[in-house]
Amino acid sequence: MKKILKVKDLKDAFDLELVCDLADLDRKITVSDLSRPGLEMAGFFTYYPYERVQILGKTELTFLEGLSSRVRKERMEKLCHDETPAIIIARNLSVPEELIEVSCKKRIPILRTAMNTTRFASKLTNYLEAQLAPTITLHGVLVDVYGVGILITGSSGIGKSETALELVKRGHRLVADDAVEIRQTAENELIGTAPEVIRHLLEIRGLGIINVMTLFGAGAVRIHKKITQVVKLEMWDKDKNYERLGLDEQKMKIMDTEIPEITIPVRPGRNLAVIIEVAAMNYRLKIMGHHAAKEFTERLSEFMDEEH
């Protein structure tokens, strides 16, 4: 699922100037790629990517100035395709009259920024890739524990929210409870956040809804966090063999990304918050090259070799 992004969202995000008041700011932006129509200014429209946001800088506009008014209007007619979401002028440069005339007629927004072309294009690309990234919503709780983004999953009533509350009390930060919106912003990178309506809120059965930021302060919450580990809570099954060494690492696939997953059996007397803290610290050690299970296995092998 992709978020619907409109030109007015872009205008507000970058505080852009609207050149023509007749423009339709509800036009949708569907791709994150941008276009600097250099060849198009020269008249080559065979492969014109009309569905992209078009950016005109000093080079394109200087070239246009050298054309006759008739040719400029002809090029602007082709530039302002019916499906072009918007045209953005960089450096606060003057907008050609022919472009204003055609764009107003077709209600295509002409926006203007004071930033130079390269810098603005870079910022706009990052913004569009983040906003238009594929998104899914998963049932779970996302917390930031020692800088590690941990997605806690499990069946309803297993104790996910209560565990998150204990983690917040221990100084960690809540990102989302119950529903986690996950965006794949890059290859192997998942960013989780909370839907606006439930942001900073925790549901504790028997207590109700609590506002974590109000109770524990702004330092107890985060707006978003990269997900690096999944902790699955499940009821203890005496007939199931749970991992005891940590050599067999499981993965959970979310969209196109695989995230390390550990399963923690739940039963009375187990402090889940402490276990998750240790899981986060152990994850950090692993990415720094220290794998306790592998080191134990190597020591055991060495010991057995010495015995023989």
Between CA 239 and CA 53 the distance in angstroms is 58
The predicted pLDDT at position 297 comes to 58
Query: Residue 2: pLDDT above 80?
Result: no
Q: Has residue 238 got a pLDDT over 80? A: no
Q: Is the pLDDT score of 245 beyond 60?
A: no
Dihedrals phi, psi of 259, to nearest 5 degrees: -115, 135
**Predicted pLDDT of residue 296:** 53
Asked if pLDDT for residue 244 goes beyond 70, the answer is no
Q: What are the angstrom distances between the C-alpha of 54 and each of 3, 111, 161, 242?
A: 20, 10, 46, 56
When pLDDT is averaged across residues 27-53 and rounded to a whole number, the result is: 95
H helix intervals, 146-252: 160-169, 212-216
Q: Tell me how far apart the terminal alpha carbons of the chain are, to the nearest angstrom.
A: 59
Buried b (16+ CB within 10 A) or exposed e, 3-39: eebbbbbbbeebebebbbeebebebebeebebbbbee
Structural contact between residues 285 and 231, judged by C-beta atoms closer than 8 angstroms: no
Asked whether residue 32 is marked as a ligand-binding residue, the answer is no
Does 156 appear as a known binding residue?
Answer: yes
Q: Residue 293's pLDDT is what?
A: 58
Q: Is 166 annotated as a binding residue?
A: no
The whole-chain average pLDDT of the chain stands at 89
Taking 90 as the threshold, does the pLDDT of residue 277 lie above it?
A: yes
Over residues 270-285, the mean pLDDT reads 90
Asked if the model's pLDDT at residue 129 lies above 60, the reply is yes
Q: Is 150 labeled as ligand-binding?
A: no
Per-residue tokens: 268: 């009375």
Beta strands in the chain (DSSP E): 5-6, 17-18, 28-29, 34-35, 53-56, 87-89, 110-112, 135-139, 141-145, 148-154, 173-176, 179-186, 189-193, 201-204, 208-211, 224-226, 229-235, 250-254, 257-266
- pLDDT given for residue 282 in this prediction: 87
- Residue 108, marked binder: no
Is residue 301 part of an annotated ligand binding site? no
Residue 157 annotated as lining a ligand binding site: yes
Greatest distance between any 2 Cα atoms in the chain: 93
149-198 pLDDT, tens digit each? 999 999 988 999 999 999 999 999 999 999 999 998 878 889 999 999 99
Task: Give me the active site residues, please.
Answer: 139, 160, 178, 244
Mean pLDDT score, 135-150: 95
pLDDT at position 19, please? 93
**Which domains does the chain carry?**
5-131 (3.40.1390.20), 135-298 (3.40.50.300)
Strands 141-145 and 148-154: antiparallel
> Is pTM beyond 0.75 here?
no
Cβ atoms within 10 Å, residue 117: 20
Provide the pLDDT for residue 248: 66
Q: What is the model's pLDDT at position 193?
A: 94
pLDDT recorded at residue 308? 54
Q: In this model, does residue 104 exceed pLDDT 80?
A: yes
pLDDT at 219 over 60: yes
* Position 201 pLDDT exceeds 60: yes
